[in-house]
Amino acid sequence: MDDLKQLETEIFARIEGAADEAALEEVRIATIGKKGSISEKMKTLGKMTPEERQTAGPALNGLKNAVTEAIAARKDILRRAAIEERLKNETVDITLPVRQSPAEAGRIHPLTQVVDEITAIFADMGFSIAEGPEIETDYYNFTALNFPEGHPAREMHDTFFFNPDSEGQRRLLRTHTSPVQVHTMESQKPPIRIVIPGKTYRCDSDATHSPMFHQLEGLVIGKDIHAGHLRWSLEEFCKAFFEVDNVTMRFRPSFFPFTEPSFEVDIQCDRSGPTVKFGEGTDWMEILGCGMVHPNVLRYGGIDPDEFQGFAWGIGIDRLAMLKYGMPDLRDFFDADARWISHYGFRPLDIPTLFGGVSS
């Protein structure tokens, strides 16, 4: 009987000492499991005399029950402790700021923004958007725009040429968006009212020039189109784009092979501060070239110049973006620097509209 008492003390100490459910299971197997110490003792009951069995039987059964209950109780305690521990370790710190979704964290490049603003403004005036190829033939980039062979104006464009193809034709990266004027005339009958945003290429690079840059071309062709329409359209555009009530524009005579007469347009501004301000001041800044479409260009496009006339303009989008949003170096536009884009970029869901303000 004494060794039963000792066994009980030992077993209860092991149960109390079991640190987790796995250790407790080991104690269970070692005691009341098939080959456990208590089970082994119970197997000896059969060999005892009836008198011995009368005391040993209930004692062993009592021990077995007590151990079973103690294991169950300890298991309960361990399970609760494990849950407490998990709750402590797996708490969520709800004071952490929520991470921004890609739609909130992403930024629209200022150039994309400016193109969206410009198209919103011209769409409101009834223009549609046209596009054309960036790899052009000499014909569309120059000849059909009334650049005579060997004319010095061709050299002024610093053209990137490809190697001649098997037929000896030398393709080029378009130096301006003007070739799309001719593509459009070939495929569309007047009246035509289009704007053409797109990439253009010239071999030039410094703080305000990039070998790849962006232009916005405009073309209007109809029966009674005159320079007054040109002037009004550009003034309305500049007011809407720079978000001012008034702009003063100056049309200076100039030369482009594809327009006659041709003008360079300056807008009055204040250049005394760190950024250029439009709608005030006494300085002038040149912003675009324009003119009445040359009769030869209409002919190249398959349009009769005795019946139709029109106007066109070309404007540098990169420069407009720099002026409006105060970005000093054009090369930053194409550096893919995440800090620059997060500073100068626009929120993806703020789409420019005339009623909402083009830049807000």
Size of the site for ligand DAH (CB under 6 A): 11
User: Where would I find the beta strands (DSSP E) of the chain?
Assistant: 128-129, 135-136, 172-173, 192-201, 212-222, 249-256, 259-270, 277-278, 283-293, 309-316
| 178 lies in the binding site for ligand DAH (CB under 6 A) | yes
DSSP string of 229-265?
HHHHHHHHHHHHHHT-S---EEEEEEEETTEEEEEEE
CB atoms within 10 A of CB 118: 25
Distance CA 27, CA 60 (A): 17
Residue 332 Cβ, how far from ligand DAH at the closest point, in Å?
23
| Contact residue for ligand DAH among 180, 240, 312, 321 (CB under 6 A) | 312
Q: Show Cβ contacts of residue 175 under 8 Å, excluding neighbours closer than 6 positions.
A: 141, 157, 158, 159, 200, 201, 202
The smaller minimum CB distance to ligand DAH, of residues 227 and 351, is found at 227
Q: Binding pattern to ligand DAH, positions 125-164, x when CB under 6 A?
A: ----------------------------------------
| 197 lies in the binding site for ligand DAH (CB under 6 A) | no
Q: Show Cβ contacts of residue 67 under 8 Å, excluding neighbours closer than 6 positions.
A: 8, 11, 12, 15, 31, 32, 38
Residue 314 Cβ, how far from ligand DAH at the closest point, in Å?
2
| 176 lies in the binding site for ligand DAH (CB under 6 A) | yes
Map tokens 């080029």 to a residue: 172
The smaller minimum CB distance to ligand DAH, of residues 33 and 261, is found at 261
| 314 lies in the binding site for ligand DAH (CB under 6 A) | yes
**Helix, strand or coil for residue 121?**
helix
**Helix, strand or coil for residue 43?**
helix
| 182 lies in the binding site for ligand DAH (CB under 6 A) | no
| Contact residue for ligand DAH among 179, 190, 198, 291 (CB under 6 A) | 291
Distance CA 239, CA 233 (A): 10
Q: Is the peptide bond before 261 cis (omega within 30 degrees of 0)?
A: yes
The interface with ligand DAH within residues 257-286 (CB under 6 A) comprises 259
The smaller minimum CB distance to ligand DAH, of residues 31 and 184, is found at 184
Residue 217 Cβ, how far from ligand DAH at the closest point, in Å?
5
| 313 lies in the binding site for ligand DAH (CB under 6 A) | yes
The interface with ligand DAH within residues 208-247 (CB under 6 A) comprises 217
Q: Which stretch binds ligand DAH (CB under 6 A): 124-132, 235-243, 268-276, 307-315?
A: 307-315
**Whats the size of the chain, residue-wise?**
360
| 289 lies in the binding site for ligand DAH (CB under 6 A) | yes
Which residues here bind ligand DAH, judged by CB under 6 A?
176, 178, 217, 256, 259, 289-291, 312-314
